Structure 1
């Protein structure tokens, strides 16, 4: 690589007399220093940028996970109000609505090149939000007043999460594909951490004990402080990563240099001409008029058309996931506690043995852990070349194959008072095996589709790569929202 730059310098020095000014311009101390930074940024030293993107993924999903995990705490704080039994519905509806509305606005602005999202600000706002929530644990406000405060903070979090997602995936799309995998892996870590906390909390009590109020409050405080510390870490990571030569090089590279394929002689000559305009490499403002014109003319519909298969695939993957998880899977109980033969609705557990694991609270909590660990494993698989494919048609077919999980879970031991379907899968081990395959396929295919979009041959410019990353992220969120809505239909069919 350094020999290539030496060759370029020799060519510059050998130019004709009328090109002397251009040579001096490139060989002044400032240019040499910038080229040294550019050359130094060929590699992600110590994988610092990669791990910061993993941290971004954790910080991206943690806000919503904290709100749903602290449900017992919120139930106690809202007790006596008109929201004590419906607050989770309000949480889901308002968070998703704020997330999608802001996401849509940001995509529209990004397609016009009038919006450049800096993830520093949403991370800072989330830090303040969780600082307030952690402080509110020791405040005596309850009922409707506390519900109003919580909903304001929740809506703000939904909005800032959209900003954070757009910014992170737009940046990660300019890097090699493993950096999108890093974000997806971080999201998996957040899910695992919350699920493990839930099952530990379940094991701490018994199946019949009412949770201690002081213990619930203490757990909520720890959840909020964990979210606070993670967002602070994301802020620190942001400051560190923006000073890394590898990050600077990737974010300011010319479109032609985004390819990892070898350059031929004509391309080398073209790159030499592009070196004359240093701002194309090193200025975040992209002040080049032609570049601005290209960004202004960027069409979100053209990007969606180029990536239509992957846009559908990533949405469908998460539609199928949210249709049954957790709305259906949380109703599936151990066959040792609820005999499958009682198809009419015997919801009272039968204690045939004293195995704590088979109790409803631990059994359901374990399935959350199993899903989140499997999902995380799936998100790690694309690191291996043998487990990676970026073929849109193949990914679409894989996503469609996951439809089989819907009837599979519906035929498990679902315990509800109005069950209509027979129990065909009446074995706990088989049920957990289905959960595992379901989870791994979700993480694996979700990561692959997100990684594949910026790597398409039709997506060439940095602006398009950033926009397709945002479009895919929006499609993922839309899939979650649609799947959650459709889960009510599936629930009525059980």
Structure 2
């Protein structure tokens, strides 16, 4: 039987899936059988619309922009918490609470993804993120009680996490329908925005500490990193202002893309399903002309999510564990590591360390656009994820000293330390991208059994597991910090 060929307004060509899919790189031997309805499933040939890829690149930036802005503005938050007992654990509280609320919000967003328009979710969530970042921008112009500012910052972090949950589910679902090139573009955007923010942070930090004498640097260190807060304030103000402008640009770009025929032909099926649900619901309420069992449909949807979760459990566990290790170390532990050069200002050293991680993360995601460096084997990806556990003891051997210490660090080279931070970011970006691409690939993941309708669910569930990993890693950072404090009482 010849494959059925059809064209859409986007110019992409669709062909029927073959009756049997075999992945030579997969560790499981799985024979797939299909009935005559197999011709109803389609995959997209590699016809890529660069305009849509760039918009998804911007949406990828928007998904992780709030998190990266909060992380890189940690020094600003700490400068406003001087004198508060919450200052020492602020970073752990911020990462843990935001990740925890992100889990619950993402769970709700995933469960209700078929009852809400993806476009509407993107519009409202992007607008909300922009508003919160604007509030953070204005917070740099005033001074508040440390306890008041602590709860304000935590509330903003939680609000951003909730909004990003709905933004990410809608964006992942749309990109997964377009195919792997668009997913990879969106994932690269998530890392690229972190690099941009870090570059801005390095520049502003360098300008603010330019001309600092060794005596002033030593006084800054001995005072537990407490200065007048001007440098941190100016840097954060720049972050928040640029981020708000970028979110506005992303909002406008998505509004333009949503009107393209290619977008309507591909993602429009999700919009039509929502409209159909609403029409059927109205019929039930007004005249009972259409009889539906809503509970049964919800049950079937939950069964589909559970089925996809079980099928991709290896990918999902590997993805979650990547961020368990990353968040357990970065930035809660890494910001405590000081330069061994007394002439290097801690603010500049911290800014460079953020840049090194984000550069590594970006290149880790970017290299996944080259087929030669991609592996689709779920067990091999899981092994990569587990091996990253070694980063925990390695970073504990670095210069994690906040005061005088009798013991010299095993790793006392700033150059080696920066390489380790870059390797942490590189492995995080590379392995997490492999997990996301593999979990939602019809061509390379036989566990999906060629069900095209499972692709958006697979990518959304993978995103949920990512957030779970962030939450667990945030909690784990408390334990690792306790180990450091036990070994070095000057960190208490």
Counterpart in the other structure of 2:446: 457
SS of 1:458's equivalent? helix
Which residues of 2 match residues 78-227 of structure 1 at below 5 A?
87-110=90-113, 113-117=114-118, 118-138=121-141, 149-204=152-207, 205=209, 206=212, 207=217, 216-227=232-243
CA contact (8 A) 1:122 1:164 kept: yes
CA contact (8 A) 2:198 2:358 kept: yes
SS of 2:447's equivalent? coil
Determine whether 1:309 maps to 2:322. Answer: no
Which residues of 2 match residues 85-484 of structure 1 at below 5 A?
87-110=90-113, 113-117=114-118, 118-138=121-141, 149-204=152-207, 205=209, 206=212, 207=217, 216-252=232-268, 285=275, 297-298=300-301, 299=303, 300-335=305-340, 337=341, 351=342, 356=343, 358-416=344-402, 423-455=409-441, 456-459=445-448, 460-484=450-474
Counterpart in the other structure of 1:69: 72
Determine whether 1:37 maps to 2:26. Answer: no
The 10-residue stretch of structure 1 (196-205 or 231-240) with the greater mean CA deviation from structure 2: 196-205
The 10-residue stretch of structure 1 (84-93 or 359-368) with the greater mean CA deviation from structure 2: 84-93
TM-score, normalising length: structure 1: 0.73
* Per-residue CA distance 1:61-95 (angstroms, 9 max, x = gap): 22233234334544555567776666545433432
SS of 2:172's equivalent? helix
SS of 1:327's equivalent? coil
* Per-residue CA distance 1:168-212 (angstroms, 9 max, x = gap): 222222221122222221111222123223322332213357766
CA contact (8 A) 1:323 1:483 kept: yes
For 2:418 and 2:260, locate their aligned partners in 1 and report how far apart those are by CA, in whole Å. 44
Structure 2 residue ranges without an equivalent (≥5): 14-43, 221-225, 281-289, 485-492
For 1:68 and 1:215, locate their aligned partners in 2 and report how far apart those are by CA, in whole Å. 16
Shift of 1:296: 5.7
295 and 421 in structure 1: CA distance in 2 versus 1, 3 angstrom threshold: farther
Shift of 1:402: 1.6
CA contact (8 A) 2:105 2:162 kept: yes
- Give the alignment's Cα RMSD to 1 decimal: 3.5
TM-score, normalising length: structure 2: 0.73
306 and 247 in structure 1: CA distance in 2 versus 1, 3 angstrom threshold: same
The count of residues paired between Structure 1 and Structure 2 equals: 416
Report which of the two structures shows the higher radius of gyration computed on alpha carbons: 1
Structure 1 residue ranges without an equivalent (≥5): 9-34, 254-279, 338-350
CA contact (8 A) 1:38 1:245 kept: yes
